[in-house]
Structure 1
Amino acid sequence: MSAAVKYTLGRIGLFVIVLVALLPTDLDIFLKLIVALAFSAAASFFLLRGWRDQMAEEMAAAAERRRAEKERLRSALAGDDQPPTTDQPPTPDSPR
């Protein structure tokens, strides 16, 4: 399971736990939702740090792969990485 899925499920789980803990209280449902959202966000900052860091690393690696692939495609479209053909005459620097 990817770190992004684990982190997302962890955030949702924390929200549900806090909301269930607030159900017996004498607050309006919208206030309960806001308090649960705020408290679960603060708690996830500390409790889910490892998963958040793993997710950030995965996202950075994916962005680097996309950037490298984009550069490779750009150079291929520009004709920079075409293999030399045998039809071309040898250059003065090349061995014969």
Structure 2
Amino acid sequence: MSAAVKYTLGRIGLFVVVVLALWPVEVNIFLKLMLALVFSAAASFFLLRGWRDEMAEDLAVAAERRRAEKERLRAALAGDDQPAGEEPGDQPRA
């Protein structure tokens, strides 16, 4: 399971737990949901740190891979790269 999925499910799970804990409290449902959102966000900051760091690392690796691929494609479009096995001075084969 990817780190993003684990972290997202963890955030949703914390929200549900806090909503269920606030359910017996006699206040407006909108206020309960807002409180649950704030409390679950604060709790996830501490409780889900490992999954958040893992997700951030995965996102950084993916961003670097996209950046490298973009640079490779730009170089190919500019004619800067050569196919494997050919030297820059070689004539194309007919």
TM-score by length of 2: 0.89
Identity %: 75
- CA shift for structure 1 position 87: 3.0
Number of the residue aligned with 2:17: 17
Q: Which amino acid aligns with 1:16?
A: V
Q: Distance in 1 between the 2:47 and 2:21 partners?
A: 18
Number of the residue aligned with 1:44: 44
Q: Which runs of 5+ in 1 are unaligned?
A: 89-96
Number of the residue aligned with 1:93: none
Work out which of the two has the higher radius of gyration on C-alpha atoms and give 1 or 2.
1
Number of the residue aligned with 1:92: none
Number of the residue aligned with 1:87: 91
Aligned pair count?
A: 88
- CA shift for structure 1 position 86: 4.4
Structure 1 segments of 4 or more deviating over 4 A?
Answer: none
Number of the residue aligned with 1:54: 54
Q: Distance in 2 between the 1:43 and 1:87 partners?
A: 64
Q: Distance in 1 between the 2:91 and 2:14 partners?
A: 67
Q: Distance in 1 between the 2:49 and 2:8 partners?
A: 12
TM-score by length of 1: 0.87
- CA shift for structure 1 position 8: 0.3
Q: Distance in 2 between the 1:27 and 1:87 partners?
A: 80
Root-mean-square deviation over aligned CA pairs: 1.4
